[in-house]
Structure 1
């Protein structure tokens, strides 16, 4: 076999190994927003299972944490309680444990699943879980990769 033949065969094999790129439509039709992930909780020495939240669900939770209060000049302004939002995100996205479990809520004397997260977890744990849930929901640092030419 000559050197040119070997080079040609190598390029031919290399070209066959490249997977065909899906169209955006094919990708959306072939995927699900039901994404789950375990997260290790060091203090509790166990895994929590979290799920991704859709934009619709996050907007719904934001509305629950948005209040109107007087601002400058007496004009009413909207204010989002970010601590409460973090608690609701964790309560909504935690599959295991289920913060709406009556036994768990009774144990912590919680009025709601969001209240249960606040009473059962440390502030930093809520922040960490909320951050991981948002990452899983597509809010990671740089979810969009630049398209490379060539």
Structure 2
């Protein structure tokens, strides 16, 4: 049976289902006295490209001048986190912050943010944030 035949017989919903995962943040679990587990999902390649593009500055000749990998990581965390919703106004108000970026920085340390972003990119089929950056460059 050819791949075309297999695809024609396949369950479309099953093949296009978003991959999900849970990720515990041990430091916050310890502080809260119960598991602090994020629910994560993969992000479409189109959205990952948009995130990288939005955080890339180009020179006049179209070459990459600079790329804000820190902001790319934060945007990846925001896009890939299902629960909790870091854009929730009540949650931001509770922690006295104005933006979801401020909330992420208040809740997580640098290593935790990197861990979350890496887990999201793994769900997208990439091995690291560098793979996302390369997607944009090419």
The higher radius of gyration belongs to: 1
**Correspondent of 2:65 among 71, 78, 82:** 78
Aligned ranges 1:49-128 → 2 under 5 Å: 49-68=39-58, 77-128=64-115
Query: What TM-score comes out, normalization by structure 2 length?
Result: 0.71
* Structure 1 or 2: more helix by fraction: 2
The Cα offsets for residues 99-137 of structure 1, whole Å up to 9 and x where unpaired, read as 001122123333332332122211100000000100011
Which is further off, 132-141 or 50-59?
A: 132-141
Unaligned 5+ runs, structure 2: 30-35, 129-138
Query: What TM-score comes out, normalization by structure 1 length?
Result: 0.66
The Cα offsets for residues 70-122 of structure 1, whole Å up to 9 and x where unpaired, read as 9xxxx985311001111111011111111001122123333332332122211
Q: Residues 50 and 94 of structure 1 are in contact (CA less than 8 Å); yes or no, is this contact kept in structure 2?
A: yes
Give the corresponding residue for 2:127: 140
Aligned length: 117
Q: Distance in 1 between matches of 2:71 and 2:93?
A: 20
SS, match of residue 16 in structure 2: coil
RMSD: 2.7
Unaligned 5+ runs, structure 1: 1-20, 142-150
